[in-house]
Amino acid sequence: MTVTADQVKQLREKTGAGMMECKKALLESAGDFEKAIDALRKSGIARAEKRADRAASEGVVDAYIHPGNRVGVLIEVNCETDFVARTAEFLDLVRNLAMQVAAAGAEYVRREEVPAERVAREREIIAAQVAAQGKPAAMVDKIVEGKLGKFYSEICLVEQPYIRDDKQTVEDLVRAASSKTGENVVVRRFTRFRLGQE
């Protein structure tokens, strides 16, 4: 099977992967565009996970003020080199993440940051709700875990559906940036200000 330059170009524009990676993915998927995208995403995630233990001490702090001046966000996103931190793609990622925080109201970056007392309280409330519905005891734990996952996806930035494409999470967006840059990209912290709220 032959792969045309136009197919490679289209896949490259869609995924941001290298030309040779795109060609290889198209050949391996027999020209199936969606399978090629999946293959690239899987290999990108694998490479991103290998990079995750590398120090990310460069990056930027950005401010985003939502139109109307009622919501503002300060966010720090790190990468490994100052070179990547100054690229348009990285700055665009940081701006999109700040907009995500403003729009979706995350409280924490990742689930490990949620205080144990809050998780325990939420688990207790969910368990009581499920028990009140008369569900079998064997199913209660599974249902509680599923609802806790939904809770995390509402309050943890990296688990939220991305506001511009709800088929991917914010974590997927960060991993894609890591894959494109070849560096470990980390959302370090953020603060969200809303007029009149503590």
Looking up residue 174, the CATH number of its domain turns out to be 3.30.479.20
pLDDT of residue 31: 82
| 159 domain residue, yes or no | no
| 184 domain residue, yes or no | yes
**At 81, is the secondary structure helix, strand, or coil?**
coil
What own/partner pairs with CB < 8 Å and gap ≥ 24 does 150-155 have?
A: 151/122, 151/126, 152/111, 152/114, 155/106, 155/107, 155/108, 155/114
Helices 19-28 and 5-15, interaxial angle, to 10°? 110
Instruction: Identify each DSSP E strand in the chain by its residue range.
Output: 58-65, 71-79, 161-162, 165-169, 186-194
| 110 domain residue, yes or no | no
Q: How many domains does the chain have?
A: 3
Q: pTM for the complete prediction? A: 0.69
| 71 domain residue, yes or no | yes
Residues 62 and 31 in one domain: no
Place of tokens 């985003």: 64
For the chain, give the mean pLDDT: 85
What does the pLDDT look like over 12-36, one tens digit per residue? 767 666 677 788 888 888 888 888 8
pLDDT of residue 46: 45
- Position 174 confidence tier, pLDDT thresholds 50, 70, 90: very high
Q: 65 lies in which domain range?
A: 58-104+169-194
Residues 99 and 12 in one domain: no
Place of tokens 């919501």: 71
